[in-house]
Structure 1
């Protein structure tokens, strides 16, 4: 998918002066499946939206038909986005009537245009200034640094300038543009990340203490398959020398259920072995290896008095049926949600259906490395998920797809 960000407009100076929360980003999909993104004020007219799409795609406005759901956006009627109930990150679609959209044709410039062109070509200083970009690096909401750099500079030069400006070593920071982290030492250009003049980047300080997993070499990390009694399977990466307690804690966190409600079983050579918590045993003590499968069984809590007494046969059958029903309901409370980024990346998040939106944002941050403060909104079918609420407050279900919008 061809994702293009519209960071510039004819009245860019006015847009910069407005509050960032008043600037909306609208995805616009074409008939060929490509997508562009336009930035516009939330109180803008429909005419301004159609005009931006016309200029971006080089399509005459009389050939352009812009749609939102089943409504056609009418040009020249003085209507605003709110008249069509359009909000931030809502998707528009356009079609082209008649022949293929024409390309720009060469024409003879007018005398005034020729005179202006001569002025720009004669001024060497103006040419030099046009090759200099001013980029903004934000360390937090109140600390922004402006960096002047040549437009054909490498990413390494930009990262070194930012490091010198904020006095933070390169290895202790990450530079984020949209949803991508700028990679140092790869010889990439600014254009490889879609960076343009007046673009804004975010600086994230990496001050956390490195974990055992982060310091381990790839050969020391194992990928274990976790399978529940409904057949649902997901994967966990963990260090081969870790203790079983840490593995159980990871599985419990991924499922959103306390470990007391689950039994962990590893089968080897047709023999089942129950993993014990609190014994300080390692994975190798149970014969667990890379790409092994751990089975989890959801169970109900049984008191000591009930466990000592042996119930009659018909009561025992009824209890087994209740346990199966409880296991299925417990498993149904675990959802796998797909989070789509504007860059095309997709992350699968495993979370309890009654978890909060804040917990979902934390899981997205852990998986993608994007700070939660940079997340602008999470959308499900055009509806925004608000912090402080639970996922069950929205019409979500297992395998639902969410869309993540970031602050630019």
Structure 2
């Protein structure tokens, strides 16, 4: 059918539409013709009296429009509220009144108020795209009646271990429960000015247990947050343990393939870092999936967690936008908060997020990663900040 769209000045334009098209779709169709956003369009018809076409989810035929009908158009200075649905991972659907000019963060706040799901645990998906913090809903073409799917972000239980040497000196370290003893040694060696091969670790739980299997994980030894690990620095290096590597076949959509060797306990984030140079791309742009179609989307999970074994094929897609990942910021009170970032973001952008979440002024924040201070104006990728990384925040002295 053909509808006549008329504005208050008398100007008319005709538009062909399907009778089953919704009012929301009609607005999307005519908005470019009048250089306006769909959320600012008010439609009505006159049939003895004025009838507002204000239900975006209703169809053109629901309002008894027919070919040749005239629809009056008013362009408002403020966006029109609309209803969208948010479906959680339990299958429950709730309705939210929004405008398309609202931000993703504002929608998340509304979801929190209604469902009590913490904002930093919400992962919102629409049309296969993850809605990113700081963006507007109109950036994703969300319309009246749209359904946004919410899943929960994987919460990583970072644990804090106390490392104690024979002199009684203690230092704390943050580790992932899936980290290996070998990785733990690598992490703490610089703290004690020693080589990892000279570190001997043990715990006391009724009896002394040597943590002498470098390929075992922290959780394999039943360590938990607050556990004390005794450290002895040997004068002779510890014999190297041979760990069998896993061979994976990485293939992209163009047919290019590359064999890579990784440890079974390597994380997906580490795999991306390993693969990226072979395909001449940044790790943050890589999306990986197993041959069975499973998306390898949790960078902190290990290759083994996804059931990959030697000989497995991993498909690689290079995205045009960086894939968000989680990092941790530990303040000087020992409190840890999670932040969703991309490595193309700047240090200043991360500092602003910290300010918004913790209230710490930007000029007082001093961020440290891998012993380096993160400088204003630099990008996070300059410091090789990866998924699951812990950044330490101390406060600058005032006037210093």
Work out whether the TM-score is over 0.5. Answer: no
When normalised by structure 2's length, the TM-score is 0.32
TM-score, scaled relative to structure 1: 0.31
Query: Greater RCO between the two (CA within 8 Å, min separation 6)?
Result: 1
